[in-house]
Amino acid sequence: MQSTILIAREYGTPDVLEFFDQALPELAAGMARIKVKAAGINPIDARRMTGEFRHAALPQGFGTEFAGVIVDLPAGASHWATGDEVLGSGAGFTHATVIDVPLSNLVARPANIDWPVAGSLAGVAQTAMTILDEIGDVRSLLIHGGSGGVGSITIQIARARGIEVVATASARNLGYLAELGATPVEYGPGLVARLEAVHPALFDASLDMSGTEEATQASLARVRPDGLIGSIAGTPPSSERVQALWTKRSPAKLKAVVDGVAAGRFRWEVSKTFPFSDAADAYGAILGGHTRGKSALVF
């Protein structure tokens, strides 16, 4: 079996992306072979393409999450069958037509969750659950950049836990934040004063999805001195108080979010889909920023 894989042999703009056809080896023990139907695109993918993050040697593949159909299994894989529809985290890359994934990463795709949604859930869901576990028992939370993928689901899970959430975004996404259950605040000059106006007490914790200096300074001004200021932006912070948070994979926690989406308790928005053949356009859109929800490649 062959797979067509999105790769880059050098760092740069989306024009460095290319498709590479590769014959797949015999399936290893503990792995499932998946025909990909959709795969989420995350800012980290585009930032790895440009070379801002250099986590792998060149040439490099992309993608951390997927949804698809099992086409091959090793002997003795009793819990799954070929033809099963699944989603989860990948192993190295997911922006490809066929991928091999650890069996332990798989979660069944509910029939009422469409492919683009299913393919874009794994990374953000597990990141959101990691974040909320890290901040612990808090009553109020400030989220910078709340309209993106991680921010959107973090708001909803936090509200389901009874946490009061104030979230920032551009003017055009303030209504979306309100629909998710957050008190929306527009970022930009005067942010600290606007935050104080809607939430006079200091926040128990803050989370930065945007990586801006404005977000850092607003958190320093509006979070309790003993409160956690966390960031998933991956940019070097200007304050030692900012704690980098990294995703801890947990298929069980992913399944909890998937079940919530399937039951209608959590809203999940895929703002745009791109055919796999238009991957360069998709990466360019991610670099443009201001994404609402997630974008996904469809196969």
Average of per-residue pLDDT across 216-234: 96
In the predicted structure, residue 26 carries a pLDDT above the cut 90: yes
The CATH homologous superfamily to which domain 124-244 belongs is: NAD(P)-binding Rossmann-like Domain (3.40.50.720)
Mean pLDDT, the chain, whole residue set: 95
Average of per-residue pLDDT across 167-184: 96
**Residues facing residue 185 across a β-bridge:** 168
pTM for the predicted model, two decimal places: 0.91
Looking at the chain, the domain(s) classified CATH 3.40.50.720 span: 124-244
Considering only residues 75 and 99, tell me which one the structure prediction assigns the higher pLDDT.
99
pLDDT, residue 292, reads 81
pLDDT, residue 291, reads 67
pLDDT in tens, 241-269: 999 998 889 999 999 999 999 999 999 99
Looking at the chain, the domain(s) classified CATH 3.90.180.10 span: 2-121+268-298
Average of per-residue pLDDT across 221-244: 94
